[in-house]
Structure formats: structure tokens, C-alpha cells
Amino acid sequence: MGALSAVFGAEAVGEATAASGWFLENAWLIWLFPAVSFLLILLFGKRFPKGGSEIGIFAVGASFVFGVATAIQWISEVEGGGSKGAEGEYALGAGALSLAAEGESSGGVSAVSRSITWLTNGAESIGAGILIDGLAVMMIFVVTLVSLLVHVYSTDYVAGDRRYTHFFAFLSLFTASMLFFVTASTTLQMLVGWELVGVCSFALIGHWWEEKPNSNAALKAFFTNRVGDMGLIIGVSILFFAAGTFDVIGVNEAALNGTMTHTVTLAAALCLTAAVMSKSGQFFLHTWLPDAMAGPTPVSALIHAATMVVAGIFMIARLYGVFFEGYSIGGSSLNLLALIGGVTTLVGASLAFVQNDIKKVLAYSTISQLGYMVLALGVGAWTAALFHLFTHAFFKACLFLGSGSVSHAVHSFDMKKDMGGLRAHMPHTYRTFMLGTLALAGLPIFSGFWSKDEILVGTGGWGFFGGTDANGSYTIMLVMGLVTAALTGAYMTRVVYLTFFGEYRGHGTPHESGPRITAPLWILGSLAVVAGFINFPPGFQLVPESWREKFFQWVEPVGVSYFPSIKHATPSWSLAIVSVIVALAGIAAAAYYYFVRVRAVSPMATELPNGPTRRWVLARAGHSVLVNKYYLDWLYTRVIVGFVKGPLAKGTNWVNQHVIDRVVNEVGTRSVQAGNVVYHKVDQLVVDGVVNATGKISDASGEELRRMQTGKVQQYAAIMFIAATILAGIFIIVI
Amino acid sequence: MYLNTMLLLAAVLFCIGVYGVLARRNGVLVLMSIELILNAVNINLVAFGAFHATVVGQIFALFVITVAAAEVGIGLAIVLLLYRNRRSINLDQVDLMRG
């Protein structure tokens, strides 16, 4: 893949530079296609022979083609060494739109930024536009590719659904919103895109809303996200008032050049972190994500694994100046962002162990991997985080679509009851699922290995690994990352055994899914293998130097005013070997338990009859903590809501009855007495008297005046003339 | 030609107009009387304009004439509708608004 793209890049450089940049400057078309498709499907979808799905596939396909073209142009620009004088190149006046074109050119990488004036409020004019750089191009590629594959997959998976057309309409809207979000040039646009993807997520989780749990899950997702969205709104407002602009580049520059004080930047970063915690499922606002699996599986793959949940990661990466300064990432050894990421990655990985629903395992795994990304951003390993986002999108989408394929065959998501032994029945699903699993576990060659290893290196923990020149020494984060690596290997081994090995425990005979399901699986499975080759580490001697660090060169903005100058850790063989050993240890432990011990009991068995949770109190206690998801849902619904309803209510009731009530009663009694006095003396006599008098006077005068209203025009005229004469008389006498 | 001659003429015209408005029963005649009142005002405007040697008075008179034309147009339309509905334009019979 890396080699292929390099060839593409080289070819593009050879072409005439005049045409270069058209796709970059018109990247707004990429989100326009699916946006138009949404309207078309909604209005006319049912009249089309395939229920509108063909419109969606065509639109997203067009977006994908444009996205690839944009990527090629961007790469050629980067590889070309930024020799372009940006101003003349981009200043294309077009129609009535006033185009502000600027090329932030320095150090060879220029972000293409175009905007129109969206609205003017007094002296403040708010722009809207596109900001295309390596980050946006990478996100466009991921979103359009996964979305396209999910569209194709869905035509089989949700075939015959009663809201088939509706489903594709929302897929289109989601794709448009996400693309709008990643190409946004202002924080205000990002806010709009952020909310739009949230709405689409809500609608698609609740796709089968007739069943109460599904609509509950949709509501839970929506409300949990609202908590974070408030953070985003406040954060964007703080940034606007502190930096004086909504412009992403302007905000980053203001944070980096000291226009904003450190305190303000920290406050903004904290608010934005709340938004990341809800949208990207970080501990302790992650609880909506597993429940979101109530939605159709393609939705889980697209929205809740590959794209929407990484919106938070993207937002941190986009506004990295704010986060970098706010949390003082360079040169510290602990900060909130890294800590949230670290805790999340551990929490997610440990919870993935005890789920019996295959999609929920994957959901917790997603939370864990998102934690990795936040951790990486927290320790300053910007490229590593986005590289992991890139590889994770492919292998996790592959795993989700694989689980969908399995459930398509066995009509269930319960691994213990209805799966097992599917390896023989579903060879394609099994093989692609294995590719995704190996990538997720981070074994060498597979894509997850390269990206995860880069994150671990980026923590800069423990100098003796040789991972030097990192932004700080985050030893705790390194330990958390390594423990998670072991846990990841173990829980994926469990999933693979319960799903594909042993003997089939469900009903009927499962069959392999059709080509529209297996083709996307194979594409994603292949990407899960090769996507990592796009970013070989700098010291990797096995490939030519021109193949190394491509992703870093293409995506990370270097030497520009809106991006902090972060350091890049030198990778080390020793850390890579340790992380692989750790992952293998996790896999081996789980493999011993399932493939040896459990299988020895019976091919149908899913656990040992006298396993550790049966024998040891401590293990049982730990297990029940995990089964109850660290009691977080319990905490939210029982403790926080229940505390208000239960003990707190009782306690306050007593205080209420005995203390407050006495006071209240006393006050009440006195009030009543005072009220009686006031009532009889003031109200009845004075106030009512006035009111009644007013009424009576009005009534009486009305009765009198009524007679003047004869309806005869000439009498009115006479009165008018008489009055005018009198007034004129007064006028003459007075003057 | 004295100013007071003109003012006297205007005053006479005005009084005739007022009499017509108050005393006539016929809607059309009432409208015509209103025109007399307005024209009395016009004479005043022009007379004072000439007295002060300016054209402002004449310009105002032109405006008054324009407004009067519009007013009488609406007035006649009302009278016409009144006639169609009641077969009469006697204003004494039009007292729907009596309180």
C-alpha cells in the first residue's frame, strides 16, 4: 500500500502543476454528494428499483473517487516540496462568492483553506469553508472508503427491512455530516458537523425503534453525548472570545503564540476534553457505546467503530495547539488527556472479557483502542494517534462486519448460546475475522502492530527501551499500554474460540453470507494486513528509505504556524519485541484456557466447570465487577439517580418532616394569620375596593358613552366640527 | 385683490361644506361637501402662498388635490357598495355601529 501510494505520488508530481489543486480547493464537493443523495433518497428513494440504495452507493462512490483524487493531489503537493507560491495559485474568484484563499506555506506543507462569509453580525463576520491538509485528506479517505464498503454490505444485510430506504438516507446524511466535519475550516462548522453526526447516530441506533431497548439505547447515546456537547459549545465559545476568531488555523495560532493565556487555553482544553469523552467513548462517559450496538451492525461498523467515534480524536488533532499548550504536553510526565486515555484503554480491554455478545466485546475493544489514541495524543505522539486511527478504522470495521456476517447466519449475537464451530461453515468470514483479530492484537506484519508500537514508543517511558526524544517520559502510560496489549490479545482469543472453534451450539445450519457481504470483508481484511506498511518506522532497515514514514510525511503538518513543534520519539527494537511478547503472552494464556482446558471438557463447552471464578473468591469478585461494567451504569442509574430517590430522599424527608416542616409550619401558620389580616383589611377593603371601583366607573361611563355611539356618521361629523371649533377658539384666546 | 377677500371666500366655502356634511342625507352629496371643505383649504393655501410670494402653498394645494381624488375614489366605492347592499344611500339608515 505504501509502495503503491508512493508510485501514485511520483506520477502525480510528473504531471503539469497547473491542474494541481483543483480537487483540494473543491473538496466541499466531497460532502455535497452524499448530502444531495440524502435528500434524493428521502424524497424519491422508494420509487427507485433498489429502494434508493443505488443513489447512496453512487454518491459515496463519487465522494470516494474525489477523496482519492484529493489525496493524490495532496501527496503530490507534499512530495513536490511545497515549491508553489500559494497566493496566485489559489486566488480564483468564482461567481458571487467572495473567496478568501490562502496558502499557509512554509516548510513545504501548505494547508489549502478556502472560505466564504457565512454570516455577518455587526463588525464580526463568520466564515465557513474547507481546510484541507494531510489530516483532512486522511480522514476523507477513511470515511469515504469505509462508508462505501458499508453501503455495499448493507444492501444485503438490511435487505427486506421495512425502513430500507430510510436506512440508506441516514447513511448518506451521516457520511455527508462526517465529511463536513473533517473538512471544516472553523470551529463553528465543526460544532455543526459534530451535532449532525450525533443526530445520525441517534437515528441509526434506534433504527429498529419498535423494540424498547433499541430506542432506550438511542436515547442513552444521545443524552450522554449531550453532556459532552455542552463542553464543546462552551469550549468553542471560550476559544472564540479568547482568540477572536472561529477559524481553526487562527485559534491554533492564538494558542501557540501566546495570544491566549495559559489558564484560558487550559479551560478551553478541559471543556473540549469533555466533548471528546462523550463522543469518543472515553472513561467515564463511555457507557453509551456498548449500548449503541443495538443498532444494525453496518451502522456499528461505520459509526461506532471507524468514523463517528473518532470525531473526538480528530477534534483533538485539529485543535492540537490548544491541547498541547493547555495541558503542557511537551515535557511533562502526566496530564489529564493521557490519563483519560490510559484509564479508558484499560477499562475497555478488561470489560471486553466478560461480554457474551460478540458486538459488545468489539464495542469495548473500540473503547479501549480509542483510549490508545487519546493516550497517544496526550503524550504528544500526534502522528501515532492518527496512524492508529487509520489502521483501527480498517481492522475494526472488518471485525464488526465479520460479526454482522456471523449474526446474519446464526440470527443472534450471543457467542455462548448460538455460536461456536463456525470456522467450517463460514470460511470467508472466519479468515477475514482472523486477519482483523491479528491486526487488533498487534502481531507483527499486521497493521495494528505498526500503529500500536508507535504509540508505545511515543510515551517515552523507561529510557532503557531506547525510545528517546519523546515529548516527555510518560512511564505510567507505557505500562497501561502494555497491559492493554496483553488483555487485547487475550479477549480476542476468547472471541475467536467461542465464535469459530468448538462445536456449533445454535439452531439449524449456518451458511456463509453472500458476495456483497464477503467482498467488503476481504477488502477490509486485506487493508487490516497492509495498512500499516504506509508508515514504516524511520530506522526500519528492511525496506528502502523512501518507503518509510510516508504517513508521517503526508499527514503531519511540519513547520507551520498553527501546529506545535512536537518531537518524534525514536523507535526501538527492544520495545517492539517486548510489546509483541506481551501480546503473545496474553494470547497464549487465553489460548491455553480455551483451546486446551475448555475444549478438553467438551467441544460444546464455553467455560470451565470449576474455573477460577468458581474456586477463588477474589476472582469471582473481580469477575462480577467486570460483568457489572465497573458498576458505572449502576452508578449512574442507581447511585446518582437512586441516591436522589432513595437514602437521600429518605434523609431529606426526615429533615424535611422534623426540621424544615416545623419551620415551614411555623412560618406557614404565621403567614396564614398575617395573610388573614392582610386579606380582610388590605385585600378586601383597599385593593378590591380600588379594583371594583375601577370596574364600576368603567361600566358606568361606558354605559353613558354608549349613547354617543349612534352609528350615524353625520352626528360624529358634527361632534368633530364642534370640538374643532372649541379647540380653535381656545387656540385663538390663548395665543 | 386682498388676502382677506380670498379668506372670506374660503370661509364661505367651508361653511357651505360643513353644512352639506352635517345636513344632507345623500352620501354622494356628503362626499361633494367634503370636497368643498378641502377646496376651501386649497384656496387658503394658495392665497397665503401668493401673500408670502412663495410657491409652497400651491405645491401643498396640489398634494391636497391628489389626496382628495384618492379619498373621493374610496368614498364613492363605499357608497356604491352601500347602494348595492341596501338599495339606498341615505346615511341615516346606515347605523350598524350603534352602541
Identify which has the larger pLDDT, A382 or A645.
A382
- What mean pLDDT, rounded, does chain A reach? 80
Work out the average pLDDT over A501-520.
82
Q: Sorting pLDDT into bands at 50, 70 and 90, what band is A88?
A: very low
* Site of grid cell 443505488: A54
pLDDT at residue A620 above 80? no
Q: Do residues A173 and A34 lie in contact, with contact meaning Cβ atoms separated by under 8 Å?
A: yes
Helices (H), B1-99: 3-23, 27-51, 56-86
pLDDT digits (tens, 9 = 90+) for A56-70: 888 999 999 988 988
Range of the domain at B38: 3-93
Across the interface, do A713 and B94 touch by the CB < 8 Å criterion?
yes
Residues of A in contact with B91 (CB under 8 A): 712-714
Interface test with A, best of B22, B37, B44 (most A CBs within 10 A): B22
Across the interface, do B91 and A713 touch by the CB < 8 Å criterion?
yes
CA distance A432 to A702: 90
**Nearest CB partner across the interface for B91, out of A709, A714, A718:** A714
Identify which has the larger pLDDT, A571 or A229.
A229
Let me know if residue B12 belongs to a domain: yes
Report the pLDDT value the prediction gives residue A643, as an integer from 0 to 100: 64
Amino acid at A561: S
Q: Sorting pLDDT into bands at 50, 70 and 90, what band is A97?
A: very low
pLDDT at residue B83 above 70? yes
The cell for A362 is 468489539
Q: Sorting pLDDT into bands at 50, 70 and 90, what band is A616?
A: low
Q: Sorting pLDDT into bands at 50, 70 and 90, what band is A1?
A: very low
CA distance A52 to A59: 11
Q: Sorting pLDDT into bands at 50, 70 and 90, what band is A607?
A: confident
| Longest distance between any two alpha carbons in chain A, whole Å | 123
Q: Do residues A330 and A566 lie in contact, with contact meaning Cβ atoms separated by under 8 Å?
A: yes
Let me know if residue B99 belongs to a domain: no
Please give the distance of CA A588 from its chain centroid, rounded to a whole number: 34
Report the pLDDT value the prediction gives residue B75, as an integer from 0 to 100: 93
Interface test with B, best of A701, A709, A712 (most B CBs within 10 A): A712
Residue A609: helix, strand or coil by DSSP? coil
Interface test with A, best of B14, B15, B18 (most A CBs within 10 A): B18
Residues of A in contact with B94 (CB under 8 A): 711-713
Q: H-helix or E-strand containing A43?
A: helix A28-44
Tell whether ipTM is more than 0.90. no
Across the interface, do A714 and B94 touch by the CB < 8 Å criterion?
no
As separate numbers, helices (DSSP H) first and strands (DSSP E) second, chain A gives 35, 3
Nearest Cα neighbor of A304 from A379, A205, A237, A227 is A205
Let me know if residue B53 belongs to a domain: yes
Interface test with A, best of B34, B44, B92 (most A CBs within 10 A): B92
Exposed, middle or buried, A371 (CB in 10 Å: 0-12/13-18/19+)? buried
Q: Sorting pLDDT into bands at 50, 70 and 90, what band is A98?
A: very low
> How big is the CA angle at A106 (ends A105 and A112), to the nearest 5 degrees?
25
Report the pLDDT value the prediction gives residue B73, as an integer from 0 to 100: 95
CB pairs under 8 A between A and B: 36
* Site of grid cell 500500500: A1
**A124-132 sheet: strands from edge to edge:** A100-106, A109-121, A124-132
Q: Are strands A124-132 and A109-121 parallel, antiparallel or unpaired?
A: antiparallel
Q: List the beta strands (DSSP E) in A122-169.
A: 124-132
Nearest Cα neighbor of A158 from A30, A52, A313, A75 is A52
Identify which has the larger pLDDT, A47 or A143.
A143
Residue B53: helix, strand or coil by DSSP? coil
**Shortest Cα distance, chain B CAs vs residue A25, angstroms:** 60
Nearest Cα neighbor of A531 from A399, A435, A431, A430 is A435
pLDDT digits (tens, 9 = 90+) for A548-590: 777 887 788 777 777 887 877 777 777 888 888 888 888 888 8
Q: What is the pTM of this model?
A: 0.70
**Nearest CB partner across the interface for B22, out of A710, A711, A718:** A718
Report the pLDDT value the prediction gives residue A636, as an integer from 0 to 100: 66
**Shortest Cα distance, chain A CAs vs residue B18, angstroms:** 8
Let me know if residue B24 belongs to a domain: yes
pLDDT digits (tens, 9 = 90+) for A9-35: 333 333 333 335 777 777 788 888 899
Let me know if residue B15 belongs to a domain: yes
Report the pLDDT value the prediction gives residue A16, as an integer from 0 to 100: 30
Report the pLDDT value the prediction gives residue B71, as an integer from 0 to 100: 93
pLDDT digits (tens, 9 = 90+) for A660-719: 777 878 888 888 888 888 888 777 888 888 888 888 998 888 888 887 778 788 888 888
CA distance A584 to A489: 7
The domain that contains B51 carries what CATH number?
Answer: 1.10.287.3510
The cell for A383 is 502522528
Contacts of B16 (CB under 8 A, 6+ apart): B33, B36
pLDDT digits (tens, 9 = 90+) for A420-475: 778 888 888 888 999 999 999 888 888 888 888 888 888 776 654 555 666 667 77
Give chain B's end-to-end CA distance (angstroms, integer): 51
Work out the average pLDDT over A290-304.
86
Work out the average pLDDT over A134-140.
88
Contacts of B98 (CB under 8 A, 6+ apart): A709, A710, A711, A712
Residues of B in contact with A710 (CB under 8 A): 95, 98-99
Let me know if residue B98 belongs to a domain: no
Contacts of B52 (CB under 8 A, 6+ apart): none
CA distance A296 to A160: 13
Residues belonging to chain B with any Cβ–Cβ distance to chain A shorter than 8 Å: 18, 21-23, 30, 91-92, 94-99
CA dist list (Å): A713 to A148, A232, B29, B76: 78, 67, 13, 15
Helices (H), A206-259: 212-243, 248-256
Across the interface, do B18 and A721 touch by the CB < 8 Å criterion?
yes
Contacts of A719 (CB under 8 A, 6+ apart): A708
Residues of B in contact with A712 (CB under 8 A): 91-92, 94-95, 98
Q: Do residues A376 and A455 lie in contact, with contact meaning Cβ atoms separated by under 8 Å?
A: yes
pLDDT at residue B64 above 90? yes
What count of other Cβ atoms lies within 10 Å of the Cβ of residue A713? 17
pLDDT digits (tens, 9 = 90+) for A304-343: 888 889 999 999 998 888 888 888 777 666 788 888 888 8
**Shortest Cα distance, chain A CAs vs residue B1, angstroms:** 26
Helices (H), A257-294: 262-279, 288-291
Residues belonging to chain A with any Cβ–Cβ distance to chain B shorter than 8 Å: 705-714, 717-718, 721
**Nearest CB partner across the interface for B99, out of A706, A714, A717:** A706
* Site of grid cell 470525531: A311
The percent of residues in chain A predicted with pLDDT above 90, rounded, is 9
pLDDT at residue A480 above 90? no
pLDDT digits (tens, 9 = 90+) for A142-196: 999 999 999 999 888 888 778 888 888 888 999 999 999 998 888 888 999 999 9
A68-82, A223-237, A622-636 — most confident range:
A223-237
Smallest CA–CA distance from B15 into chain A, residue: A721
Q: Do residues A259 and A288 lie in contact, with contact meaning Cβ atoms separated by under 8 Å?
A: no
Identify which has the larger pLDDT, A698 or A502.
A698
Report the pLDDT value the prediction gives residue B59, as an integer from 0 to 100: 94
Let me know if residue B39 belongs to a domain: yes
Smallest CA–CA distance from B19 into chain A, residue: A718
Report the pLDDT value the prediction gives residue B84, as an integer from 0 to 100: 92
Report the pLDDT value the prediction gives residue A86, as an integer from 0 to 100: 38
What count of other Cβ atoms lies within 10 Å of the Cβ of residue A345? 30
Residue A148: helix, strand or coil by DSSP? helix
**Nearest CB partner across the interface for B95, out of A705, A707, A710:** A710
Amino acid at A21: G
The percent of residues in chain A predicted with pLDDT above 70, rounded, is 85
CA distance A356 to A499: 10
Domains in chain B, number = 1
Across the interface, do B99 and A707 touch by the CB < 8 Å criterion?
yes
CA distance A494 to A355: 10
> How big is the CA angle at A507 (ends A504 and A511), to the nearest 5 degrees?
70
CA distance A617 to A619: 5
Let me know if residue B70 belongs to a domain: yes
Identify which has the larger pLDDT, A312 or A621.
A312
pLDDT at residue A642 above 70? no
Report the pLDDT value the prediction gives residue B46, as an integer from 0 to 100: 94
